[in-house]
Amino acid sequence: MTADFLVVGAGIAGLSFALRAAKYGSVIVLAKGRAEESNTAWAQGGIASVLEKELRDDGDSEESHVADTMDAGAGLCDEAVVRRIVGEGDETIEDLLGYGVHFDKDGERFLLGKEGGHSYRRILHARDTTGREVARAMLEAARREPNLRLMENHFVIDLITTAKLDAVSDDRILGAYVLERETGEVKVFKSDRVVLAAGGCGKVYLYTTNPDSATGDGVALGWRAGALIANMEFIQFHPTCFYNPAAVGPEARSFLVSEAVRGEGGILRNGKGEDFTKKIDQRGSLAPRDIVARAIDRELKKTGAACVYLDVTHKPRGFMKERFPYIYERLLQFGLDCELSPIPVVPAAHYQCGGLKTDVNGKTTIRGLYAVGEVGCTGLHGANRLASNSLLEGNVVGRLALEEMMRLYPPSKPVMDAPPIPEWVHGDVAEPDELVVIYHNWDELRRLMWDYVSIVRTNNRLRRAAARLRNLKKEVREFYWGHRVNADILELRNLVAVAGLIVECGLRRRESRGLHYTLDHLETDERFAKDTLLRKF
């Protein structure tokens, strides 16, 4: 199969690119499961944007949004990138309105929310299911687009580049080997222009706010293809994931309680009812996420408690049901009326701030390969992402990637004579007969990462994690090469690769900064005020 543009992932970033690219050539968008299962669709908060059209009588400005982003990013943001992306808020919102996204309004004016690290209310939202609304509208547009083919249940196994072809010295993208899950067939998809938009890697941790699909596929694909990877140590833990004691363990089904709840006055309290975050940062429950997550971690370790509480019982009756209907209803399913009782919460893995190193246009180090959204590391987030900046980034970088590609590699101009693509090589084709091994490895990996490589780190724990990961990697490699591939094996292979990158980047950063906090180096050290870079070959 051949396409002018091949997009891996169907969230906001992939679709922002794909919907525009379809005006210039044929587009295939691959989703490894249902297209609706993206990280985008699970985003609750919204889109941070200072709209020019809005009459800002509260003093907010683009400059303030830039400053908050840089402050959260703890010295590692690329200021030019921040300015560029933050400056595209208007276009982004116009674009989404054009697809039919409905944001909450009061008459003619958008209702604006607030989240941790933001100095002002500037987050456009659709109640507490903003991502679902964005995904709905963009997927509907994608399904209407004649030049765009959305192929679900297609799992990319590996990217194809010229790197391994002896005859070609230039490293550029040629396409991908793809597993069609329904038939078990592996197919070659050829394209000179490939966009990775496969989201993040929350499932590498035992507890996460992410959907099951977030298995680090994009970063693992880029890594194996030889792309430069940056800053994988910066994994953001969201402070408030509903704590469900009835479902502790790998199968825990919990869910995010949006930071916007704190933006509307929710207060974090310990078991004694104390507002403990105030002792750590004057912004209290609304300090940036790294600070709040660490404050909770410290409180749990100090008191031995299993969770802390998010208290909204002081809000007027009916407020939560109206503003956060999804959260309100889900909590009711667990027997908790949050307007009457505080919500038990714990931190959970939420967002990958590193990824394939790119410029603001999503351009990676492999020609023709772009990485957009969570899978890319443009320099917007630095060492810690500011809440609700990611949907904005996804939309903007998806658009800029297309513009850049049309400058460098327009479909009307063949990039080069395509060298013959080698057959997909695989080992044995035995059916996996010991799925229990895969599931065991999967659980072991996620617990290992949670226990050794989460909110508070040490050199020792990182080294121990690295040693255990080496064994796991060996086992997963044997399993991968010894059996017919299926989605479970592929996801585990990707997770183990990404876990290795998180640990390796963590070991290299011998300081505490943003989301990387280590007891061995408590201070920020200016010698490390730079990206952590890794490349396979």
Q: Which of 132, 289, 294, 385 is catalytic?
A: 289
Q: Compute CA distances 108 → 46, 53, 57, 94, 352, whole Å.
A: 18, 11, 16, 15, 35
Nearer to ligand SIN, 130 or 215 (CB): 130
- Cα separation of 33 and 43, whole Å? 18
User: Please, where are the H alpha helices in 310-361?
Assistant: 319-323, 325-333
Could you tell me the two tokens for 98?
């054009």
Nearer to ligand SIN, 47 or 360 (CB): 47
Shortest separation between residue 239's beta carbon and ligand SIN, angstroms: 9
Shortest separation between residue 258's beta carbon and ligand SIN, angstroms: 3
Q: Compute CA distances 385 → 349, 354, 515, whole Å.
A: 13, 10, 9
Residues between 260 and 289 that touch ligand SIN (CB under 6 A): 260
Site for ligand SIN (CB under 6 A): which residue of 377, 387, 401, 476?
A: 387
Assess contact for 143 and 150: CB atoms under 8 A.
Answer: yes
Nearer to ligand SIN, 392 or 490 (CB): 392
| Residue 390 engages ligand SIN in binding (rule: CB under 6 A) | yes
* Binding residues with ligand SIN: total (CB under 6 A): 9
Residues between 328 and 357 that touch ligand SIN (CB under 6 A): 351
Only one of the segments 183-191, 382-390, 446-454, 479-487 lies at the binding site for ligand SIN (rule: CB under 6 A); that segment is 382-390
Task: Give the per-residue contact string, 35-74, with ligand SIN (x = CB under 6 A; - = no).
Answer: ---------xx-----------------------------
Residues between 239 and 258 that touch ligand SIN (CB under 6 A): 258
Assess contact for 442 and 499: CB atoms under 8 A.
Answer: no
Please indicate whether residue 289 is annotated as part of the active site: yes
Alpha-carbon Rg of the chain, whole angstroms?
22
Nearer to ligand SIN, 44 or 231 (CB): 44
Nearer to ligand SIN, 194 or 345 (CB): 345
Q: 235-242 and 267-269 as β-strands: parallel, antiparallel, unpaired? A: unpaired
Only one of the segments 219-227, 383-391, 408-416, 454-462 lies at the binding site for ligand SIN (rule: CB under 6 A); that segment is 383-391
Q: Name, in order, each residue with C-beta under 8 angstroms of 402's C-beta and a sequence gap of 6 or more.
A: 17, 20, 21, 24
Nearer to ligand SIN, 309 or 528 (CB): 309
| Residue 259 engages ligand SIN in binding (rule: CB under 6 A) | yes
- φ/ψ bin of 113: left (φ > 0), alpha (ψ from -120 to 50), beta (otherwise): beta
| Residue 78 engages ligand SIN in binding (rule: CB under 6 A) | no
Burial 390-399 (b: 16+ CB within 10 A, else e): bbbbbbbbbb
Assess contact for 213 and 456: CB atoms under 8 A.
Answer: no
Please give the residue ranges that form the binding site for ligand SIN (CB under 6 A): 44-45, 258-260, 351, 387-388, 390
Q: Which residues are catalytic?
A: 289
